[in-house]
Amino acid sequence: MTKTASPRLLDRISAIPGSQTAVVTVGTDGETRWSYGQLLSEAGAWTQRLSDLGLEAGDAIGLWLPNCAPWLAIELAASTLGLLVVPVNPRLRGNDARALLERAGLRCLVAPEASGMVDFDALLGEALASPLPGLDHVLRIDIDAQIASGAEAGIPRAAGGDLALNCFSTSGSTGAPKLAMHRQSSLVIRFSAAAQRFGINSGDAVLCALPLCGVWGLGISLAALMRGASCVFLPVFSASRAAEAMHDYQIAHVHGGDNLVREILNAPTFQGEQLPYWRSCYFGAFTGSPAAETIRMIATSGAVQVQAAQAYGSSEALAFVAGAAPNAPEPERLLAGGPYLDDMTQARAVSPDGSNLPHGERGELQLTGACIMLGYRNDSPASTAAMTPDGWYRTGDLGYTTPGGLVFISRLGDALRLRGNLIDPAEIEHHIGTHPDVEEVHVVGVSLPSRGDVAVAFVRVSSPGLDEPTLKAFCKSRIAGFKIPDRIVLTDAIPVTVGANGTKVKKGELRERALAYFDTP
């Protein structure tokens, strides 16, 4: 971002001609379109509505919504009022949702009146079964409707100060979620740079298939809007429908995990030779398959213009920290990372003894710059632990630096990448451990060639009648489906080692045992 460029989303988006299409929402019964003028009008209407409710700068508003145009209008309204937007994944259930809402400290929560296959009446009933301290307003909205009467047409006022605008959920170390907070200027810096790196131009159509509740999904949508492109939303994702949308809406850019990209490429409705507009595809290697395989699949899909590359990022440092340009040589595009996307981010690799390593030598990646989080909301201990004494963010990732960039290799710890979501095993252990007949539980991951990471839980129980199907059903009622272990193994003993510093579980032995439950080459 240049020194003269505005750090406000509203200033960037209001510069786009009002007649251009901002959002296309593709539903099962047709589509709805919002122009940039309508998006700004709705942002103005929401600014007034939220102000009338008494919301003030620093207050938190939760958006428990699928991908839809009102999501973005409320985001812009929040940016003008200085509100903090806390996204809630529509896939969260019961205890998961309640834990996030409690951590968020919301004054207002927005949810749909109805939304396809998701029963929001039931979700809200579970999450708000008991009063949530500080929550004054729960708004139910028609996600296909506009609320502006016409009087609000025009650009909403901008609040002063560069306040925290968005939180992004990331896995906690004790079973509780953490919410990484980012300033509005951070989003503008990183995602405007991403739009430039990806080659997003005014009038392009961008398939925004990832949920807006995540840093990648919101990031690519804001990148598109700041360049005058159109966001194409699928409130209920279907690989076949996504493939059809790529043709129907002349999609130029598709970004997401390699699992999402592969699903679309393998859909029966995908016809690469009919996609002359598709130019860029940035992906994260979530399945564990080599990046070269995904790039080959894209290159041989029949789409003649598209170039693919890996990107690196996180909730704490925002998506798209580093990544090669679409037209870079293939060896560079195969790396998870590459040149920094913005000129305000720096990385260093640090050895276990805390010394900085030269370019090319592997160590823990640490980051600094304007796009690093302000901290975790309502979690000072975790915020302090995430930063070094000299103010660098500890990523927990193994990698190395290059002149002007970085390369990610793997996670240093035991975190699992489950269907594209980075999950701490302790989070799953916490929920299984609440079953009254569970004595002890440990979750490990194994990497399968076709699926990436899968979770396996080893459980000691007090009741001989408790079995794997019962425990899976228990999990299903409390946590998101992607967190439920593929196998729950009942065992009489957990292998441990006793040392001077205490008793530690032999996670390596558990991983070996876990792998035996799957047919692998």
Tokens at 303, concatenated: 């789409």
Tokens at 118, concatenated: 């998701």
Mean pLDDT of 294-316: 90
Least confident of 17-21, 252-256, 437-441: 437-441
pLDDT, tens only, 54-76:
999 999 999 999 999 999 999 99
Residue 174 reports pLDDT greater than 60: no
The amino acid sitting at 289 is S
Q: What percent of the chain has pLDDT over 70?
A: 91
Architecture of domain 425-515: 2-Layer Sandwich (3.30)
pLDDT, tens only, 73-123:
999 999 999 999 999 988 888 778 898 999 999 999 999 997 667 788 888
Task: Report the alpha-carbon distance of residue 279 to residue 295 in Å, rounded.
Answer: 13
For domain 9-145+162-407, is the CATH number 2.40.110.20?
A: no
pLDDT value of position 207: 97
Mean pLDDT of 114-142: 89
CB 165 within 8 A of CB 187: yes
The domains of the chain are located at 9-145+162-407, 425-515
Residue 372's nearest CA partner among 403, 354, 353, 348 is 348
Residues pairing with 337 in the sheet? 407
pLDDT value of position 504: 63
pTM value is 0.81
Mean pLDDT of 14-20: 96
Q: pLDDT tier at 463 (50, 70, 90 boundaries)?
A: confident
pLDDT value of position 421: 74
pLDDT value of position 147: 86
Asked whether the domain spanning 425-515 has the same topology as the one spanning 9-145+162-407, the reply is no
Residue 70's nearest CA partner among 23, 8, 18, 17 is 23
By three-state DSSP, how is residue 91 classified?
Answer: coil
Chain centroid to Cα 162, Å, comes to 23
Task: Report the alpha-carbon distance of residue 42 to residue 53 in Å, rounded.
Answer: 17
Which contacts (CB < 8 Å, 24+ apart) does range 102-105 have? 102/132, 102/133, 103/176, 103/177, 103/178, 103/179, 103/377, 103/378, 103/379, 104/60, 104/62, 104/167, 104/179, 104/377, 104/378, 105/60, 105/134, 105/377, 105/378
pLDDT value of position 156: 59
pLDDT value of position 82: 95
Q: What percent of the chain has pLDDT over 90?
A: 62
pLDDT value of position 423: 76
| 163 vs 416, higher pLDDT | 163
Residue 455 reports pLDDT greater than 80: yes
| 2 vs 451, higher pLDDT | 451
Residue 93's nearest CA partner among 66, 122, 65, 115 is 122
Q: What is the mean pLDDT of the chain?
A: 88
Q: pLDDT tier at 175 (50, 70, 90 boundaries)?
A: very low
Residue 153's nearest CA partner among 48, 57, 80, 226 is 48
